[in-house]
Amino acid sequence: MHRFANPARFQRFSAAALPWFAGAAILCLGAGLYFSLFRSPADYQQGETVRIMYVHVPAAWMALFAYLVVAAGSVSALVWKHPLGEVVARAAAPIGAGFTLVCLVTGSLWGKPMWGAWWVWDARLTSVLVLFFLYLGYMALLGAFDDPVRGGRAASILAIVGVVNLPVIKWSVDWWNTLHQPASVARMDGPTIHPSMLLPLLLMAAGFGFYFAAVLLLRVRAELAARRIRALRLAAMEVEA
């Protein structure tokens, strides 16, 4: 990633990659919605409510992945002083928070008919809620100090410390007796979900992933442009003074 430390080089890469990511997101989401709504069968126990899975599960995966991006960018900014590290982390945090919110809302919609309650203090649900608060805390710390450098450093430390919550989310259903079902896709012995349901699930996951990449590039490009404008304004003010 150090070859992209030069903002101009990153802008050239992102300008070329952005249309491909956006196009792939549209294609995968379109195909995923078609197979999810019209070709995938209803579950023999859950009925039509199982279709919530095609949004809930990819949103949960992306919530975890986006946080890894935030943490990796924070490490890059703190340890290696990578110019793009903090920019990428700042750009990824709101997207990840959005995915986490979608995961929580769709989980509640799915849990009501299955468990008879909108919310239970289940280990998996609670740890995902903690993840949402970590996103909010990171974004709040960025603007909590008059000195943006101190705010960025404090937010980066929180993002790195918060990584310990990711294994809890992943293996909470194995460590504790929870209402949430165990993993049915990422398993050592292979997926246990039927191929007719696995295909739309993977298409939606790919669509969410490409969407994340496209929006992340857009946000990073916008942040770099904003910083460039601020630098030019400061230089103009110094010349006038």
User: Which own/partner pairs from 106-109 qualify as long-range (CB within 8 Å, at least 24 positions apart)?
Assistant: 106/52, 106/55, 106/56, 106/59, 107/56, 107/60, 109/52
pLDDT the model gives residue 6: 67
Residue 5 pLDDT greater than 70, yes or no = no
Residue 93 pLDDT greater than 90, yes or no = yes
Residues with Cβ within 8 Å of residue 224, at least 6 apart in sequence: 7, 10, 11, 87
What residue segments make up the domains of the chain, in order of their start? 20-240
Q: Please name the amino acid found at residue 61.
A: W
The size of the chain, in residues, is 241
pLDDT the model gives residue 42: 87
Distance CA 48, CA 44 (A): 9
Ramachandran angles phi, psi of 135, nearest 5°: -60, -50
Q: Between 124 and 206, where is the model more confident?
A: 206
Would you place residue 143 in the very low, low, confident or very high pLDDT band (cuts 50, 70, 90)? Answer: confident
Ramachandran angles phi, psi of 47, nearest 5°: 65, -145
pLDDT, average across residues 31-57: 91
Q: Answer yes or no: are the C-beta atoms of 54 and 201 closer than 8 Å.
A: yes
Q: How far from the centroid of its chain's Cα atoms is residue 22's Cα? A: 16
pLDDT, tens only, 146-183: 888 899 999 999 999 999 999 999 888 766 666 666 66
Distance CA 206, CA 80 (A): 31
pLDDT the model gives residue 237: 80
pLDDT the model gives residue 236: 80
**Range with the poorest average pLDDT among 72-86, 150-164, 211-225:** 72-86
Fold of 20-240: Four Helix Bundle (Hemerythrin (Met), subunit A) (1.20.120)
DSSP 8-state class, residue 120: -
Distance CA 70, CA 28 (A): 25
Quote the mean pLDDT of the chain. Answer: 88
Distance CA 29, CA 73 (A): 27
pLDDT, average across residues 91-99: 97
Picking from 151, 131, 153, 136, the residue whose alpha carbon sits closest to that of residue 68 is 131
Residue 4 pLDDT greater than 70, yes or no = no
77-81-82 Cα angle (round to 5):
75
Residue 188 pLDDT greater than 60, yes or no = no
Q: Between 178 and 47, where is the model more confident?
A: 47
Residue 186 pLDDT greater than 70, yes or no = no
Q: Between 77 and 193, where is the model more confident?
A: 77
pLDDT the model gives residue 148: 83
